[in-house]
Amino acid sequence: MVKKFFIETFGCQMNVLDSEVASARLRRLGYEATPDPDEADVLLLNTCAVRERASDKVFTRIRSIRKLRKQGSLLGVMGCVAQGESDRVLKEAGGVDLVIGTQALERLPELLAEREASARAVADVRTPNLPAFAEITPAERIRPHVAFVTIMEGCDKFCTFCIVPFTRGRERSRSPQRILSELISLREAGYQEVQLLGQNVNSYGRGRRVEGGASHSFAELLELLARESGLPRIKYTTSHPRDFNVEILEVMERHANLCNWIHLPVQSGSDRMLAAMNRGYSSDEYRRKVDLIRASERDYALTGDVIVGFPGETERDFQASLDLVNHAQFDGLYIFNYSSRPGTVAAGWHDGVPPEVKSERFERLRHLHNDIQRQRNARFVGRTLKVLVEGRSTKLQEDFTGHSTCHRVVNFSARQDLSEGRIVDVLVTEAFGHSLYGRLAGTVTG
């Protein structure tokens, strides 16, 4: 009988990519994927520790999945909770057979074999500092049209609220040639879009840990990939405002295949809070970068992240965040209630903003942003956007769905069948809060 594996993924795109790598490794061992945890011989939870709730969810899930698993199966925990809280995973949760840190993914086959050969749980949570860029072939990827490609790992910024430098280690960059050859093989396999991943893509190529010792800046890397990969669409995330610069924008202006989307998390509009967060820029500096983006001839979608209720945040600080969001007119905004994370600098500070105040600020910011987003989306009505067809719409089966180059979800009707993975013109007829609606412009042949 063929052995089966089940993977559940929490957290960011890096975890999505790591789950693809883990799936590829298990398939090479002869396993098949199953969506049913009770059928699986190997169950993996790929975890996120960025907020307390994300981390708690993992422990709840370990307990519930333990009840579902079949006898003799192995349960593994990978990702950022595995890296940061391996002892807690092994002791508190119980029943876990494998703990696979963020650097140990390549050792998954060995760790499985080790666990099968012994009665005791095995853990590999080495310090995540080495360049370890796992590779998978295009055929081993789960999504057929959009591929994630890591360009750098880790983070050296140490924002005082953030656990990521502890779970993903120091910054290290992959060689430009390897990134380019991966993009070319994805294009040859029919991929239309690649999303370049890093916690801090703008600091690509900096520091000592550059694979092969290469020395491209992020702007130079973008130039190389845009010119030589032949891919119709390249997106990237996440940019850090401190390192986002005019060179990056200039490269984007030169290449139509560098998409119209910039994710530039601001975290707060208050200089006092930005300093306490160790973000390395002021509210004015951030505004100037936004103004530069908005002054471009290209119509960029700008998205961001804001934390509300950071320790010491007063109503005045929060007002500054509202003002900044008003200024930036984000096309999309992720809002988070601050949550204390073990090992971070801010964890030692009094988390003095009461939960009800955090929730109230969250709601006020959400309302403001929803209004802005609706207005921003309305500008697309009557315009034709290039949309990558990704499947049928979940709302209406006869409709299609996909993303624009500006990373908007676009649902649309078409009087013909369309194959997934092609880029089509869609005339936008309606705008909603979180998506656009339209119809196929013209007829698609071939």
- Contact set with ligand SAM (CB under 6 A): 12, 50-51, 161-162, 164, 199-200, 238, 240, 265, 267, 305, 307, 336, 338-339, 341
Q: Which residue reads 């900096």 in tokens?
A: 206
- Is the peptide bond prior to 238 cis by the omega test (within 30 degrees of 0)? yes
CA distance 8 to 30: 19
Nearby residues of 288 by Cβ (< 8 Å), 6 or more positions away: none
Whole-number Å distance between alpha carbons of 419 and 118: 49
Nearer to ligand F3S, 336 or 412 (CB): 336
Nearer to ligand F3S, 79 or 241 (CB): 79
Selection from ligand SF4, ligand SAM, ligand F3S, none that 80 binds (CB < 5 to 8 A by kind) is ligand F3S
Q: Which does 15 bind (CB under 5 to 8 A by kind): ligand SF4, ligand SAM, ligand F3S, none?
A: ligand F3S
50 binds ligand F3S (CB under 6 A): yes
200 part of the interface to ligand SF4, by CB under 6 A: yes
- Per CB under 6 A, 155 contacts ligand F3S: no
287 binds ligand SF4 (CB under 6 A): no
Residues 152-171 that bind ligand SF4 (CB under 6 A): 155, 157-159, 162, 164-165
Q: Which of residues 67-126 bind ligand F3S (CB under 6 A)?
A: 79-80
Q: Which is nearer to ligand F3S, 84 or 438 (CB)?
A: 84
Q: Is 154 left (phi over 0), alpha (psi -120 to 50) or beta?
A: left
Residue 444's closest CA among 413, 421, 423?
423
Confirm or reject binding of residue 168 to ligand F3S (CB under 6 A): yes
- Reported as half-sphere exposure (CB side, CA atoms, 13 A), residue 436 has a value of 31
Phi, psi of 82, rounded to the nearest 5 degrees: -60, -45
Q: Is 199 in the site for ligand SF4 (CB under 6 A)?
A: yes
Find the residue with minimal CB distance to ligand SAM: 265
Stretch that binds ligand F3S, among 25-33, 43-51, 253-261, 423-431 (CB under 6 A): 43-51
The amino acid present at 33, given as its one-letter code, is A
CA angle 120, 163, 323 (to 5 degrees): 155
Binding to ligand SF4 (CB under 6 A) within 240-259 occurs at 240
Q: Does 263 bind ligand F3S (CB under 6 A)?
A: no
DSSP of 241-298: TTT--HHHHHHHHH-TTB-SEEE---B-S-HHHHHHTT-S--HHHHHHHHHHHHTSSS
Q: What is the DSSP letter of 70?
A: P
Q: Which residues bind ligand F3S (CB under 6 A)?
A: 11-12, 14-15, 48-50, 79-80, 163-164, 167-168
Q: Which residues bind ligand SF4 (CB under 6 A)?
A: 155, 157-159, 162, 164-165, 199-200, 240
